[in-house]
A = this chain, B = another copy of it.
Amino acid sequence: MPKLHITVDPTRPVEEQKEVIQNRWHPDIPAIADVKPGDDFIVECLDWTAGQVRNDESAEDIRNMDLSPNHHLTSPIYVEGAEPGDLLVVDILDLGPHPKRNWGYTGIFSKCNGGGFLTDHFPHAHKAIWDFNGVYATSRHIPGVRIPNIAHPGILGTAPSQKLLEKWNERERKLIAKDPERVPPLALPPEPKNAILGSLKPGSGEFDRIAKEAARTIPPRENGGNRDIKNLTRGAKAYLPVYVPGAKLTVGDLHFTQGDGEITFCGAIEMAGWIHLHVEVIKDGMNKYNISHPMFVPSAIEPRFSKYIVFEGYSVDEEGNQHYLDTHVAYRQACLQAIEYLKGFGYSGEEAYTILGTAPIEGRISSVVDIPNACCTLWLPVDIFDFDIMPNDDGPKHVIKGGNLPKAL
């Protein structure tokens, strides 16, 4: 039996949650619960925006979202006996949508507010609402596709030490300084506005100090964090470096599914939900295994497909400029090839983009030494479609009526 069950109510605002919320990384954010190695426990989670996105027919909520309070995390949890240098072993025993919210969403964020991997091609805000039907998600906004569950926590991490935190802030500041006015920004510095630090109350000196220092939760870092790896699904086992006493495990930002890359930024099917975890500790594990980053062992219970269409991209950009082994550019080209292909079956570009963000596509770095072109491949499982998308002599036989995604006016 789970030793602990932390609850939230996704139908109520953050302020009314019984449990305290965390939306920054800092060693001094107080733990909300204690567990021992060998324990398992359940954590309920708000969706990453804490309900800012509505189940309706407009993307105004996406367009105008205040990103500063995200992600909303019902954590951290103190693991007794875990010490810096250990590896925290986290079994993801199961997870699912919150009983009170049987739907999720995918957002294409505006270039002016968040952006995304293809923001220059799709600069305007759109969204798709997905209904959960057991292990499948379908959307009234995207016909012809049914996406199998590969639920996972976008965020799973431990607290940084003060020293590690300072390293993060320093290196990210330097990056921002290269182009401080860029839209979307290169990185996000600590932001006291809308910081939520668990049981610490705004106004106290401690709160103000931490809020000024605490790292944003957007990127993954040496503590894990917002890795957005779809394969951290039920049955997987994660190994996380420990940097502070008690490890201070944080989890949240649950996704029903996601494609490799999570390319629309809010590209997964975002959901409020629950996650069931089990923890162990490998003493001195970072040293025993020469590990400075998280690693994991995937689950035998992932969805598996045998039939894919694989699209290729190389590191030549849309204007024809040649880049040097740039896998970012190469994967973007593979995505654009896939989108053009799907448009041939009637989907709008935004719909195709959303499918690639949410379906369990694989994004692979196939070759990265053949100067000057890296080759990245995008693996699209064909059996998620209700109709045949394989190429043949005649061209697309079945064409759907696309263009249904809600947008911001």
The docked-state distance in angstroms from the alpha carbon of A222 to that of B369 is 17
Shortest CB-to-CB span from A353 to chain B, Å, is 12
Asked whether any CB of chain B lies closer than 8 Å to the CB of A367, the reply is yes
Q: Mark A321-355, 1 if CB is under 8 A from B, else 0.
A: 11111111001011001001101100000000000
User: Which stretch from A21-29, A242-250, A286-294 is at the chain B interface?
Assistant: A286-294
Asked whether any CB of chain B lies closer than 8 Å to the CB of A409, the reply is no
Q: Mark A17-59, 1 if CB is under 8 A from B, else 0.
A: 0000000000000000000000010000000000000000000
* Total count of chain A residues near the partner, CB < 8 A: 124
Asked whether any CB of chain B lies closer than 8 Å to the CB of A303, the reply is yes
Copy count, this protein chain: 4
Are B369 and A261 in contact, CB atoms less than 8 angstroms apart? yes
The docked-state distance in angstroms from the alpha carbon of A291 to that of B341 is 7
The docked-state distance in angstroms from the alpha carbon of A317 to that of B204 is 37
A192-223 residues at the B interface, CB under 8 angstroms: 218-222
Shortest CB-to-CB span from A127 to chain B, Å, is 16
A227 and B316 in contact, given A94-B134, A306-B304, A366-B260 (Cβ under 8 angstroms): no
User: Which stretch from A7-15, A73-81, A228-236 is at the chain B interface?
Assistant: A228-236
Are A321 and B171 in contact, CB atoms less than 8 angstroms apart? yes
**29 A/B residue pairs, CB under 8 Å, sorted by A:** A40-B134, A91-B136, A92-B134, A93-B133, A136-B235, A167-B320, A171-B321, A172-B372, A184-B371, A220-B367, A222-B314, A228-B366, A229-B312, A239-B391, A260-B364, A260-B365, A261-B366, A264-B369, A282-B393, A289-B341, A289-B344, A295-B391, A296-B312, A297-B308, A305-B306, A306-B306, A306-B307, A307-B383, A327-B331
> Looking across the interface, which residue of chain B has its beta carbon closest to that of A218?
B370
Are B341 and A290 in contact, CB atoms less than 8 angstroms apart? yes
The docked-state distance in angstroms from the alpha carbon of A365 to that of B276 is 26
Are A234 and B325 in contact, CB atoms less than 8 angstroms apart? no
Are A327 and B324 in contact, CB atoms less than 8 angstroms apart? no
Are B322 and A174 in contact, CB atoms less than 8 angstroms apart? yes
Asked whether any CB of chain B lies closer than 8 Å to the CB of A116, the reply is yes
Out of B136, B291, B293, B376, name the residue touching A93 (CB < 8 Å).
Answer: B136
Asked whether any CB of chain B lies closer than 8 Å to the CB of A113, the reply is no
